[in-house]
Amino acid sequence: MQLKFIGTGSGKTSLKRFHSSLLFTTGKKKILIDAGDGISKALLKQNISWNSIDTIILTHFHADHLAGLPSLLTQMIIDNRKKQLEIYTHSKLVSLLESFLQTSFLFTEFFSFKISIIGFEFSEKVHIPDNFSFYAKQNSHISNKHNINNSNIPFVSASFLFESDSKKIIYTSDIGSKKDLSLFGNKNTDYFITETTHIKLTELEEYFLKQNYKSVILTHISDNDEKILHNFAKKLNTLSKLNVILAEDGMSFTL
């Protein structure tokens, strides 16, 4: 299995980094995690065909994780895609995603390919062909939005445990507090990928110095924080046995 970082930027648009997105390649399947603003250009820059994507998994619906989806689907239509595409989102967000595509004038019944929007539940393992699975848990990233007076909005934001061929990858996506770091417990994890924008570095340091993860990758990086995060990763590597890596667009790992 290969893990590739398509984008490693924060919610603030950057000329150096695309918005956060991961790509897993397992067997003959390519699984894209999130499709924020600019995802089509990000894939193009890394010589990845839009039509090679088999599955898209969405962590939550903030624009830097979702807004590029209509454009990506448009590129697939223009390229006369034929093979089926599956999009996974939490079951509470399925109808919202369908409406989002329709208001983007993307009517899936007229696509040149079949598209399936599939809802998942928290704490239930989902299996995808070619020996890949994911397990999602609700995090607190958008919990502060619950005071909005609109009960029809589903406030869902997920962290993930991805598994393939006995390899485990934890991905925090965007989080709301340091408690979200431990949603999956202290598993024998090959990679722990954490965002760095919505949490204090002192909290990350306190948590990771107590863990035995094989490698920690820092992502969701703003331009202003890049130097600080470089020094932080260097410090953690010195203080612990962890392999701490500052992510870059295009970085890839073979697991």
Alpha carbon distance 136, 171 (integer Å): 10
Does residue 124 contact residue 91 with C-beta atoms inside 8 Å? no
Count the alpha carbons within 13 Å of 151 in the hemisphere toward its beta carbon.
0
Its CATH class, for the domain covering 2-146+155-254, is alpha beta
Give the pLDDT of residue 71: 97
> How much is the average pLDDT of 169-180?
96
Q: Read off the pTM.
A: 0.96
Alpha carbon distance 186, 196 (integer Å): 19
Does residue 238 contact residue 230 with C-beta atoms inside 8 Å? no
Alpha carbon distance 108, 71 (integer Å): 14
Reported as a single tens digit per residue, the pLDDT across 81-140 is 999 999 999 999 999 999 999 999 999 999 999 999 999 999 999 999 889 999 999 999
